[in-house]
Amino acid sequence: MAEEILAKIKEKFSWQILNIFEKSPRRAYIDLKPENIKEIVEFIFRRLRARFVIVSAVDTRNAIEILYHFSFDIEGKIITLRTKIDKQNPEIESVTPIIKGAEWIEREIYELLGVRFKNHPNLKRLLLAEDWPEGKYPLRRD
Amino acid sequence: MKALTKSIWVFHFAAASCNNCDIEILDALTPRFDLERFGILLVGSIRHADVILATGAISHKAAVRLKRLYEQAPKPCLVVAVGACACSMTMFRDSYNMAGPFDGLVPVHAYIPGCPPKPEAMIMGVVKLIKALKKG
Amino acid sequence: MAKTIIPIGPYHPLQEEPEFFKLLVEGEKVLELEIELGYNHRGIEKIAESKSYDQVLFLVERVCGICSTSHPFASVNAVEELADIKVPERALYIRSIIGELERLHSHLLWLGLAGHFIGYNTVWMWAWRYREPVLDIFEKITGNRQHYAMMKIGGVRRDIESDDIPEIWKMVDGLLPVLDMFKGVVMDDPVIHARLKGVGILTKEDVFEYGALGPTARASGVAIDVRKDDPYAAYPLVDWQVITQEEGDVFAKAVVRILEMYESVKIIKGCLDKLKVVGGEIDAKVKEIPPGEGIGRHEAPRGEVFHYVRSDGSNRPVRYKIRAPSYMNVPTNQKSVVGGTISDATITLAAVDPCYCCTERVAVVDKKTGKKGLTGQDLIKLSQEKTLRIKREMVV
Ligand code: SF4
């Protein structure tokens, strides 16, 4: 079962996938280009009906990495889509129009790392105070 | 001030706490400890309060609220810092979103350390406060 | 009819992140719900980057006080996955016992507060009274009533002595009649039926859309439970079941939680039995954390806790992502509260088990004048009065 999921994704998006890293039978990481994220997220969420877990963002000093974690509960597998975006101009397509549950986390990444999510319905601050200085992102490392 | 020592009504202010301190405060009201038998009552509005029980470290957003609440409180109003976070902020001290411990923002009259302090410790803290008040 | 905005919060002591709910109401009906966060944002993820892995455990323990073992649990799972550490069997049982004891005390706590909100203050006092023995056991085996600091990378910090086993056994046995009583109270009381059934319904589809977790999801018939789906610790080694209900209303959520406590008791007993025969070490030697990444999950009382750790080979994480279950569960209120009445709002908000005392600081503001109309106390009163009214109608 668990292999089937990866096979399905591979089959459909063979030319978009940069790399697949299977850490263990229950954990897989798929590297992608930022422009393909939305399409594959839609496929995994709508077609394969994976549960949306969360998005994490990491500042790797020269780029910002965004990870979309999805859980296949019956198989007990977590598939993580991973993409790198430019730190100077951090911008990526929002997945909130597809997944309602992603609204908060995208807002959080927006304020903590300064990533702009295109077409997010309500991109404003979530956690920090209103008088927090613009352009200062606590989770950036520089 | 002395009038305060009779039946203290407390208002519970939770800043950025992990809420364990808050549970222990509520715990002190339930049958095992039953603070109410001493006339101590948890009230829902700051306007009825004699004592503010403050827990947790203070985030920037919470600091604004705290100041406003303190202004609304009828004076004299005592502030008791409950828990290590409220006393000194412990491990959250270096965080980017912290506005400072309670005593930097409002006058604090008693500190109850512990993470979380046991209900017994809280009761003792309140008793000590009452004793200090009686002395004047 | 005039529309009114009711702000709820932002302060309430019982949740990891105080939220600020704004209800837009028309008469009795709730039209919209807006949620604001950030009062409790402590920047834990950032602080974690400056702590060693051992210190991180103490830090994440303080994410939430009620689930104070859930976060360290997920954290050790993540780091152990990252560094490929094998944990001795005895430690696995101890971990599960701690995890389940926590579920017991957390669900009892919820039950009490839920009771308070619908006007059953006795339930509140009872539930919290019966919660005390659980805390006593915690104090006995871990040294603290809360914040147990039991988890350690590679094992647990303290052993459960064989002398303590009968006492724990006695405590959980003593809890069973209590659970029966609560089950009776909830299942057989017509007033509770009238009050909770059909209120704040969350459908299966909503659960999927919002990614809801834990009892919130299980009450809507979605059988997700990390303990079964992605087995860890001693959960695959003992016998227990995932509890689900189909209706998705507040009543179902209460039932799920009560029945889950029976399962917790079962798990604890199973683990205790094994502890008697499984000896050996309680922690593995951990040398180095290699570069890489790890995902750790744990089924907390409120749902799945998710930790993502990235290491560069030093003794501190490069990135530490924490996702608490309420982060996914709270937005579901936008679905379950809207369309209901204000007097149901308190219990519906509380049904997700996010926060209770927030409602103590509720104030109803008239949109036009901006004047306060109702206080938090009033809102709870409103809720309690409705129960009374139903009681009277039923001539109970
Ligand atoms: S002092 Fe400890 S228990 Fe109290 S809020 Fe702080 S971390 Fe939580």
pLDDT in tens, A75-89: 888 889 889 888 888
For residue C172, being part of any structural domain is answered with yes
My answer on whether C244 and C383 are in the same domain is no
Read off the tokens for C3. Answer: 């529309």
Let me know whether C174 and C278 are in one domain.
yes
Q: Which residues contact C262 (CB under 8 A, 6 or more apart)?
A: C176, C179
The average pLDDT across B120-134 equals 83
Cis peptide before C236 (omega within 30 of 0): no
Cβ burial C51-62 (10 Å sphere, 16+ → b, else e): bebeebbbbbbb
User: In this structure, is residue A127 part of a structural domain?
Assistant: no
Q: Which residues of C touch A127 (CB under 8 A)?
A: 37-38, 41
The CATH number for B92's domain is 3.40.50.12280
- B7: DSSP letter: S
- Those residues whose C-beta lies under 8 Å from the C-beta of residue C287, and which sit 6 or more positions away, are none
Closest CA–CA distance from residue C346 to any residue of chain B (Å): 15
Alpha carbon C49 to chain centroid, angstroms: 26
pLDDT confidence of residue C367:
35
Helix (H), strand (E), coil (C) string for chain C: CCEEEEEECCCCCCCCCCCEEEEEEECCEEEEEEEECCCCCCCHHHHHCCCCHHHHHHHHHCCCCCCCCHHHHHHHHHHHHHHCCCCCHHHHHHHHHHHHHHHHHHHHHHHHHHHHHCCCHHHHHHHHHHHHHHHHHHHHHHCCCCCCCCEECCEECCCCCCCCHHHHHHHHHHHHHHHHHHHHHHHHCHHHHHHHCCCCCCCHHHHHHHCCCHHHHHCCCCCCCHHHHCCCCCHHHCCCCCCCCCCCCHHHHHHHHHHHHHHHHHHHHHHHHHHHHCCCCCECCCCCCCCEEEEEEEEECCEEEEEEEEECCCCCEEEEEEECHHHHHHHHHHHHCCCCEHHHHHHHHHHCCCCCHHHHHCEEEECCCCCEEEEHHHHHHHHHHHHHHHHHHHCC
Cα R_g (chain C), whole angstroms: 21
Range of the domain at A102: 2-118
- Asked if residue C286 belongs to a domain, the reply is yes
Domain that holds residue C333: 44-359
Residue A86 confidence (pLDDT): 86
Distance to chain A for C67, nearest Cα, Å: 19
Strand partners, A64: A59, A85
Split into its structural domains, chain A has a count of: 1
CA–centroid distance for A55 within its chain: 5
CB contact under 8 A, B96 and A138: yes
Tell how far the Cα of C146 is from the centroid of ligand 1, in angstroms.
10
Considering the domain boundaries, does residue C382 fall inside one?
Answer: yes
Closest alpha carbon to B80 in B7, B2, B9, B6: B9
Degrees, nearest 5: CA angle C253-C259-C263: 130
Task: Look up the CATH number of the domain holding residue C67.
Answer: 1.10.645.10
Residues in chain C closer than 8 A to B94 (CB atoms)? 47, 50
Query: Cα separation of A10 and A7, whole Å?
Result: 5
Does C74 lie in the same domain as C48? yes
Residue of C nearest to B56 (CA): C40
Query: Domain check: are C182 and C264 in the same one?
Result: yes
Q: Is C1 exposed, middle or buried (0-12, 13-18, 19+ CB in 10 A)?
A: exposed
Q: Which of B20, A118, B65, B37 is nearest to C149 (CA)?
A: B20
B35-70 confidence digits (pLDDT tens): 778 778 877 677 788 888 888 888 777 787 788 888
Residues C122 and C266 reside in one and the same domain? yes
- Within 6 A (CB) of ligand 1 lie B 17-18, 20-21, 55-56, 83-85, 115-116; C 62, 65
**More confident: A18 or B15:** A18
- Asked if residue C112 is part of any domain, the answer here is yes
The total domain count for chain C is 2
Q: Is A43 within the bounds of a domain?
A: yes
Q: Which atom of ligand 1 is nearest to the CA of B87?
A: 1
Q: How many CB atoms lie within 10 A of CB C367?
A: 11
Question: Looking at the domain assignment, is residue C37 inside a domain?
Answer: no
Q: What is the pLDDT along chain C (396 residues), one digit of tens a residue?
A: 456 665 555 444 333 334 566 666 666 666 666 666 666 677 777 788 888 888 888 888 887 777 788 888 888 988 888 888 888 888 888 889 988 998 888 888 888 878 877 777 788 888 888 888 888 888 888 888 888 888 888 888 888 888 888 888 888 888 898 888 888 888 888 888 887 888 878 888 888 888 888 888 888 888 888 888 888 888 888 888 888 888 888 888 888 888 999 999 999 999 998 888 887 888 888 878 888 888 888 988 888 888 898 888 888 888 888 888 877 777 777 777 777 776 677 677 766 665 433 333 333 333 333 333 444 556 666 666 666 666 666 654
Q: Are residues C338 and C384 in the same domain?
A: no
Q: What are the tokens at C262? A: 């029976």
Check whether residue C83 and residue C140 sit in a common domain.
yes
Half-sphere exposure of C20 (CA within 13 A, CB side): 16
The first and second tokens of residue C248, run together, are 């998705």
Q: Residue A117: in which H helix or E strand, if any?
A: strand A116-118
Residue A36's CATH number: 3.30.460.80
pLDDT tens digit sequence for A119-134? 888 777 776 666 777 7
Q: What is the mean pLDDT of residues A90-98?
A: 87
Number of domains in chain B: 1
Residues of B with CB below 8 A from C107's CB? none
Cβ pair B19:C375 closer than 8 A: no
Amino acid at C154: G
Give just the sign of the alpha carbon dihedral B102, B103, B105, B107: positive
Residue B83 has pLDDT above 80, yes or no: yes
- Nearest-angstrom CA–CA distance, C46 and A138: 8
Joined together, the tokens standing for residue C342 give: 């204000």
Q: Which residue of A has its CA nearest to C319?
A: A58
Together in a domain, C138 and C231: yes
Closest partner residue to B44 (CB to CB) among C16, C62, C360 is C360
Note the ipTM here. 0.88
Ligand 1 closest atom vs CA B18: 8
Neighbours of chain C (3+ CB pairs under 8 A): A, B
Give me the total of CB pairs closer than 8 Å, taking one residue from chain A and one from chain C. 76
> Is position A93 within any domain?
yes
Rounded to the nearest whole angstrom, what is the distance from the C-alpha of residue B57 to the centroid of ligand 1? Answer: 8
Name the token pair of C140: 């006995």
List the single residue in A with minimal CA-CA distance to C335.
A100
**Range of B31's domain?**
2-135
Residues of chain B contacting residue C44, judged by C-beta atoms under 8 Å apart = 92, 95
Flag whether C14 is in a domain: no
Helix (H/G/I), strand (E/B), else coil: B36: helix
In a domain, C256, yes or no: yes
Give me the pLDDT at residue C1, please: 47
pTM: 0.85
Do C267 and C302 fall within a single domain?
yes
Q: Determine, for residues A76 and C230 on separate chains, whether the beta-carbon distance falls below 8 Å.
A: yes
Residue A123 lies in a domain: no
The reply to whether residue C11 touches residue B13, judged by beta carbons under 8 angstroms, is yes
Residues C50, C119: one domain?
yes
* Residue B123 reports pLDDT greater than 50: yes
Distance CA C352, CA B20 (A): 19
